[in-house]
Amino acid sequence: MFTHTDIGAFDPVVTTNTLRGSALVKTYPGAEATPALDGVDLTVTSGESVAIMGPSGSGKTTLLHVLAGVLAPTSGQVVWRGRDLAAMGDAGRTRLRRTDFGFVFQSGHLLPELPAVENAALPLMLSGVSRREATRRAEALLAPLGLSGLSARRPGELSGGQAQRVAIARALVCEPGVVFADEPTGALDQGTSAEVLEQLVTRCRAVGASLVVVTHDENVASWCERTVRLRDGRIVSDARTTR
């Protein structure tokens, strides 16, 4: 017979790719009076896409970094797949960021000397997968992003939109549970930005990864299932996107 405790063992928060931030506070040294995050609760469920919006300085990037285990919160807790990030230690969090999370930044952060396919394959090679297997898997991700003919090109030989699509492939190559993107289309013109965003959302959905994307662009947010708005380090609205 199941008791209440037995049922708890099947808690979906523990067994699925749920990312949960609770009571998150972050103060930077010298700015203790004005926390960058001031009591944020945010749960991202498996496969969900969430846009984080708000004015400049409202805490968007800080929230992204705290949820991703890049920055430690001053207080509060981040739990991924039922595990507290604070309990993992620096080495554990570094490993987690490599295996479970993917990252896309505003301007790609690709290595200029490597061809596109090796840039996309890099996280796999860093975790010990052979170059041959890593590039095979990277090629398989570049193809649906419309880049199969460009995999030998170096970043300097790609357009901004193409380079961001290589960055999307790189973020997905380790089959992450969550992709974190900080202004991923901030350096692109509007048309290219819409294409890249569509690709980012579509590819994350195709592989079942959740997406947390910081943006100033309402068009970007409209691609996500949910929009969270911050002001002065607090959530002021959290709503399903209506189309």
**C-alpha distances in angstroms, 124 versus 25, 52, 142?**
33, 28, 15
Among residues 24 and 116, whose Cβ is nearest to ligand ATP? 24
Alpha-carbon distance of 86 to 69, in angstroms, equals: 8
Q: Where are the beta strands (DSSP E) in the chain?
A: 19-26, 37-44, 49-53, 75-80, 83-84, 101-104, 178-182, 210-214, 226-231, 234-240
Taking the complex as a whole, the smallest distance from the CB of residue 59 to ligand ATP amounts, in Å, to 4
Taking the complex as a whole, the smallest distance from the CB of residue 74 to ligand ATP amounts, in Å, to 12
What is the crossing angle of helices 160-172 and 131-142, to 10°?
Answer: 120
Taking the complex as a whole, the smallest distance from the CB of residue 45 to ligand ATP amounts, in Å, to 23
Taking the complex as a whole, the smallest distance from the CB of residue 21 to ligand ATP amounts, in Å, to 14
Among residues 17 and 164, whose Cβ is nearest to ligand ATP? 164
Among residues 118 and 217, whose Cβ is nearest to ligand ATP? 217
Tokens at 119, concatenated: 């840039």
What is the crossing angle of helices 131-142 and 116-126, to 10°?
Answer: 130
Residues that bind ligand ATP (CB under 6 A): 28, 31, 36, 54, 56-62
Among residues 71 and 138, whose Cβ is nearest to ligand ATP? 71
